[in-house]
Structure 1
């Protein structure tokens, strides 16, 4: 990744990934304040209002320019349905970690699986990433299913590998999955156009 490029849009699997915009702050706020999201995530900076959401969107754009992360609004038929992105990008090792969420009321439709798969393929094919890790709390079975469907191999349990929900300084075990650019592509399920563009 270079710091002079505009963050591209990615299309495929019935979804589009586009950079977050300040106008999306209300949707982002709804997503990251949802109780189910908060059950599994302890963000570095808690987003509690529209000002926080706008600042988060600005920080995401700056992170792209620094080559540290890429965060996308996931859209279906032009409507935001969730978020997906890569963080902890290590250019030297060509590694990153993937994270994702889906808005309440839209879960169970394969959106997370398709978004993770689309983001993964883009990272491998367009950004030269070789290894992407996916971590989740050991009892987060929905995330485990997303990892499996997207071909992320289970590599073990990281003891105290993540914070307990909304309790920085306290820990819980996490499953670690990873996928390599050389691994075969799985079938991510329904959705047209499997090639990211």
Structure 2
């Protein structure tokens, strides 16, 4: 794996996207205490041991080239992470990957998610163009109207309704963004 991918840091206006660090653990635990966020995520972080495991999974994914998670720092605030964006890229040579994100309660409504997701998307299409990446999917449950708005603001068009599938109790939405210039 290219060292540039392992250590990639991205910028989007006042936002800095960087790999998660052990010193982010208290902020990570605090973000996961938010009931709204807990309702939308599969993997929960409730204590330091789970936060360390979460960080280890992120680091192992980055090393394997299959998962690139970024702590989102709003430099206009206090320099602590206010969100997360992630590229889940199944394997080199895959045409598609999946993106995900969350925003801490204290940073919602400030445009953090669309800006961070836009930066991640642009980076993914550039970094993995040579491997054949042409499509990114964003998935969420149908009751998550905020994620529909973030998807639209980030250029991810609604593609389809997905049937409920464990661990999700409700149907979902798939939003898709294609690499610019691609016609499908």
TM-score (norm 2): 0.88
Structure with more of its chain in helix, by fraction: 2
Q: Which digits, 9 at most, give the CA deviation of each residue in 1:15-73, with x for residues without a partner?
A: 11000001111111112232111111112xx3220111012112211111111100000
Change (3 A) 1:32 1:94: farther
Distance in 2 (alpha carbons) for counterparts of 1:179 and 1:70: 18
Q: Which residue of 2 aligns with 1:135?
A: 139
What is the rounded CA distance, in whole Å, between the counterparts of 1:88 and 1:95 in structure 2? Answer: 7
Residues in 1 aligned to 2:24 and 2:45: alpha-carbon distance in whole angstroms: 14
CA distance in 2, matches of 1:183, 1:113: 21
Shift of residue 88, structure 1, vs aligned partner = 4.3
* Offset of residue 115 of structure 1: 0.7
Determine the C-alpha separation between the residues in 1 that align with 2:115 and 2:166: 25
With a CA cutoff of 8 Å and minimum separation of 6, indicate the structure with the bigger relative contact order.
1
Q: Deviations over 1:138-196 (max 9, x none)?
A: 111000000011111111100114633xxxxxx31001001011269xxxxxxxxxxxx
Q: How does 1:22-171 map to 2 (within 5 A)?
A: 22-43=22-43, 46-77=44-75, 78-128=79-129, 129-161=133-165, 163-164=167-168, 171=169
- Normalized per residue, the structure richer in strand is 1
- In the alignment, the residues of structure 2 paired with residue 86 and residue 162 of structure 1 have an alpha-carbon distance, to the nearest angstrom, of 21
Pairwise CA RMSD of aligned residues? 1.8
| Equivalent position SS for 2:70 | strand
Distance in 1 between the 2:165 and 2:2 partners? 31
Q: Displaced runs of 4+ in structure 1, greater than 4 A?
A: none
**How many correspondences in the alignment?**
175
**TM-score under structure 1 normalisation?**
0.82
Change (3 A) 1:27 1:66: same
Structure 1, gaps ≥5 residues long: 165-170, 185-197
